[in-house]
């Protein structure tokens, strides 16, 4: 019970920090929000100018929010990652996303042993699939790459394997590269109104979704074979 209480407290604290950062970001992005709510003839031009005038402070707020949302099970930071690309371009947006996701996953890993996970969680098919890989480092990297697989599952597998920091860091660094850039690239494409790039991003996301379904089905088959 004590560990479960800790889990609740950690989630509440994480949500509290997330709401604070959202409030700070809303304050700084209020001109853009007001412009969207009260459009004029040249709304798009004004919006494009305002969005790319944000300071370093807002990039830190976005990075922190990405890390926190990544660390809270059940929440997604994809919209914030897209916002980072929209506001700062594909490369700076990518760095914000990448660093934020790495920090978020590191937070999860550091808290894994302090949380009592349910039996249902420990029997998750994807988790068992990750734990039974012939090449676990490659399997865990792929797990991080697919945004539809919860980060907590991959980090739990890493903790269960007792990976050292030297082994964990390359996995999370490499694993978070594709989606971190993908969302930043997509946000920049939205900013520039480049439909071909937007369609390309959507296709890649669909491919990742299909990969996730494939892994779930593969994990289910292996689970049934073991039983």
With a cut of 60, say whether residue 144 has pLDDT above it.
yes
Q: Compute the distance between CA of residue 125 and CA of residue 219 in angstroms, rounded to an integer.
A: 6
**Closest C-alpha among 127, 146, 10 to residue 68:** 10
Average pLDDT, the chain: 83
Once rounded to an integer, what is the mean pLDDT over residues 7-17?
A: 87
Overall number of domains in the chain: 1
With a cut of 80, say whether residue 217 has pLDDT above it.
no
Question: Higher model confidence: residue 139 or residue 69?
Answer: 69
Distance (Å) of CA 124 to CA 22, 163, 226: 32, 20, 14
Once rounded to an integer, what is the mean pLDDT over residues 94-101?
A: 95
Once rounded to an integer, what is the mean pLDDT over residues 120-137?
A: 82
Domain containing 122 equals: 2-226
pTM of the model: 0.83
Mean pLDDT lowest for which of 9-23, 116-130, 158-172? 116-130
Backbone angles phi, psi at 75, to 5 degrees: -105, 155
* Residue 201 and residue 185 in contact, taking contact as beta carbons nearer than 8 Å: yes
């Amino acid at each position: 019970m004590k560990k479960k209480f800790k889990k609740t407290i950690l989630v509440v604290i994480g949500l509290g920090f997330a709401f604070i950062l959202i409030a700070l970001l809303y304050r700084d992005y209020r001109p853009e929000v007001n412009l969207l709510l009260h459009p004029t003839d040249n709304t798009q031009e004004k919006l494009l100018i305002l969005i790319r005038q944000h300071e370093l402070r807002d990039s830190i707020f976005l990075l922190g929010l990405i890390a926190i949302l990544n660390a809270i099970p059940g929440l997604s930071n994809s919209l914030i990652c897209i916002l980072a690309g929209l506001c700062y371009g594909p490369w700076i947006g990518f760095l914000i996303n990448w660093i934020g996701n790495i920090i978020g996953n590191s937070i999860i890993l550091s808290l894994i042993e302090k949380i009592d996970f349910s039996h249902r969680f420990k029997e998750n098919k994807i988790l068992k699939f990750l734990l039974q890989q012939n090449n676990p480092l490659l399997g865990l990297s792929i797990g991080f790459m697919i945004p539809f697989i919860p980060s907590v599952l991959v980090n739990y597998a890493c903790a269960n394997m007792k990976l050292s920091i030297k082994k964990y860091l390359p996995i999370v660094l490499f694993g978070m590269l594709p989606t971190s850039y993908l969302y930043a690239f997509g946000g920049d494409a939205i900013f520039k109104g480049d439909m071909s790039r937007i369609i390309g991003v959507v296709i890649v996301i669909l491919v990742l979704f299909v990969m996730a379904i494939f892994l779930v089905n593969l994990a289910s088959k292996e689970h049934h074979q073991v039983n």
